[in-house]
Structure 1
Amino acid sequence: MSAPAGTRRRRSRFWNMDVLRFVARRLMQAVVVMLLVMIANFVLIKLAPGDMLDVLSGTSDMTAEQIAALRRQFGLDQPVVVQFAKYFLRLAQFDLGYSHQYSDTVLNILLGRLPTTLMLVAFSVLLSIVVGTAMGVIAARNAGRLVDSAISVLVLLFYATPVFIVAIALILCFSVWLGWLPASGLVTVGAGYTGWTHVKDVAAHLVMPVIALCTFYTAIYGRLTRATMLETMHLDFVRTARAKGLSERRVIYGHALRNALLPIVTMAGLQVSSLIGGAVLVETVFGLPGMGRTAFDAIFTRDTNLLLGVMFIASLAVVCVSLVVDFLYILLDPRVELQ
């Protein structure tokens, strides 16, 4: 049995030469962006005053001769161009260097910290999209009514409250007063949970950080969805769908909402990009062993290799998210021009 005509059109949309050239062009642009980001990260860190040995000399009784010997050993006495060349050659082999603060390779350290940040970002993005979009759709369907006004006030509250205030309020309410949720960490220390008990323990530790991190973007999705839905619901194709006798639910979710998804996808890409680099505040408040907290510690200890590794992984994640958003545009709207 042959595929339906709509399926054949979508399939040809994804396999023609224009799409392949678009993908190849985007991948080449991503490579160039990563090269520029690597250079910028290295230069910015080298422009900052002090290095790891300066911190070490201030916290130990090492002599100037010993510090100079370590500087030669680590290659910190070499010109910046030589240091960058060596860093680039290591990076080409995905060797992120060695962290003397943790006495381990940077790659091993980040592989241990990355899952925490990925879980935090993924659940925050998912929750904010679901809740924010639902609030926006409900507000649009009840525009001008009491429900719309209540959602608008709630969205404004979410938008205006800083993340750290939300985090502290959640800790006071659910940890200190009610005792329902753990205040910090990713797991209960010394509990030794395994299986589903471990999963539930991790989930309990992530509830408040996820809520604190997603409130701001929930407000943005709510306002964006409401505005886009109100605009879309007055277009000709929605009126045509209603004239055909389709149910209001099918008109809203099958036609209006689907065509209002492009701005939401764009905002989701921006949210992921900002959360990957901005999770440091939430991870610090809740004591989560993630990438943001690792970068925060690396700055104060001048652990250059670790900080460069965090910035490289974060930059790579942002570039990959941008590529995914570009490809989702093609999937959601065939009218998007491939440039």
Structure 2
Amino acid sequence: MRTYLLRRCLYMIMILLGASMLIFFLYSLTPGDYVDNNMNLSEQRKAELREIHGLDRPIIERYINWMANIFKGDFGYSLAQQRSVIDLFQDYIWNSFLLAVVATFFTWFFAVVIGVLTAYKQYSLFDTLVMIGIFAAMSIPSFFIGLFLIKVFAVDLKLLPPGGMITTGSRAVGWEYIKDVLHHMLLPVAVMVMLGVGSLTRYFRSNMLDVIKQDYVRTARAKGLKERSVLFRHALKNAMLPAITLVGFELPGLFGGSIIIEKIFNWPGIGQLYMQSFTVRDYPLLMGFTMFIAILTVIGTLISDILYHTSDPRVRL
């Protein structure tokens, strides 16, 4: 295990080095930046800002300085927000993390339960109706579902707030603050679950169909075990193994935010900040955030490989 981790860490460093070069040169060689596109600045002020932030230096030197700062935990300085990228992460990324964690939990919960039941009742009316609903939810754009739910539950029925994270002007603390946040989370979480549960349900359904045909499942039934115990204790455990691969992609998704959902519901997350940075071409923030997601991706991949070995001793690292 120690040798494997050491080798994987070396691979991760090489991958991140390649990713950092691609990210930096892609943004740096793109015509225009925040200074060029700010019409309120004079040419003299633009030249001063370029010198202050090192934008007038050779691109190789800028890349080396950028990487050296990343190793120190400094992902750059946002020109549009006039704050360091790390400070902006601390203010926005946890809001996206909260939204994503809740949505991911319910997505996996519903996907596992529905996937097991549809596999057990294959070709039944329940299976047919569920698959029709899944394909319908997957085919409708996220912005349409979000706007439709806002129209129904916020505008017509007035049961839920149309957006935001807390009530405007609210000074609630403690439990009242938590209830206010949960109240505002219902609609965006519902949209994210509807969009994510479809493909995941099909994934678990396919795995369960393969597993329930195995000999050990028939043996468990022959022993007189209850069907619920056979499905959820024996079959599901092995059907979950291929899903470990998805864990590696969930980690960056938890911190990456959902750009469209956060924009529709005005949720103050990193996704909306990322979109705003694109509009003003705030490349330091874009580069820092993209590099952060790349780091989370390789870490998530390593975690999924280790979980494979932990869950199934037959898998050699």
Match of residue 145 from structure 2 = 166
Q: Does 1:24 align with 2:6?
A: yes
Question: SS of the counterpart of 1:257?
Answer: helix
| Structure 2 partner of 1:55 | 37
Match of 1:15 in 2: none
Q: Tell me how far apart the structure 2 counterparts of residues 105 and 271 of structure 1 sit (CA, whole Å).
A: 26
Deviation for aligned residue 1:275: 6.3
Tell me which of 302, 313, 317 is aligned to 2:292. Answer: 313
Counterpart CA distance in 1 for 2:249 and 2:81 is: 32
**Is the CA contact 1:221–1:264 (under 8 Å) kept in the aligned structure 2?**
no
* 2:244 is the alignment partner of 1:265: yes
Q: How many Å apart are 1:43 and its aligned residue?
A: 0.9
1:238 to 180, 205, 217: 217
Q: Classify the secondary structure of the residue corresponding to 2:177.
A: helix
Q: How do 1:120-269 residues align onto structure 2 when only pairs under 5 Å count?
A: 120-269=99-248
Q: How has the CA–CA distance of structure 1 residues 184 and 116 changed in structure 2, closer, same or farther, with 3 Å as cutoff?
A: same
Q: Which amino acid aligns with 1:200?
A: K
- How far apart, CA to CA, are the structure 2 residues paired with 1:271 and 1:159? 19
The answer to whether the 8 Å contact 2:96/2:254 transfers is: no
Tell me the SS of whatever aligns to 1:184. coil
- Asked if the contact 1:121/1:272 (under 8 Å) is kept, the reply is no
Instruction: Name the counterpart of 1:6.
Output: none
Residues paired across the two proteins, number: 317
CA contact (8 A) 2:248 2:302 kept: no
Q: What is the one-letter code of the residue matched to 2:307?
A: L
State the shift of 1:53 in Å.
1.0
Unaligned runs of 5+ in 2: none
Partner of 1:71: 50
Q: Secondary structure at the match of 1:245?
A: coil
Amino acid in the other structure paired with 2:174: G
Residues 41, 308 of structure 1: 8 Å contact kept: yes
Question: Residues 142 and 191 of structure 2 are in contact (CA less than 8 Å); yes or no, is this contact kept in structure 1?
Answer: yes
Residues 125 and 272 in structure 1, CA contact (< 8 A), matched pair in contact too: no
* Structure 1 residue 144: Cα displacement: 2.0
Contact 1:224-1:263 within 8 A present in 2 as well: no
Which residue in the other structure is 2:307 paired with?
A: 328
Deviation at 1:260, TM superposition (A): 0.2
Cα drift, residue 28 of structure 1: 2.5
Superposition deviation, residue 312 in structure 1: 2.1
Matching residue's letter, 1:41: I
How far is the alpha carbon of 1:274 from its aligned partner?
5.1
Distance 1:257 1:176 in 2: 42
Q: TM-score, normalised by structure 1?
A: 0.88
Matched, 1:304 2:283: yes
The whole-number CA distance in structure 1 between the counterparts of 2:248 and 2:184 is 26
The CA RMSD over aligned residues, in Å, is 1.7
SS in 2 for 1:238: helix
Instruction: Give the AA of the match of 1:73.
Output: I
Matched letter for residue 211 of structure 1: A
One-letter code aligned to 1:175: A
Given that residues 51 and 302 in structure 1 are in contact (C-alpha distance below 8 angstroms), is that contact kept between their aligned partners in structure 2?
Answer: yes
**Alignment match, 2:68:** 89
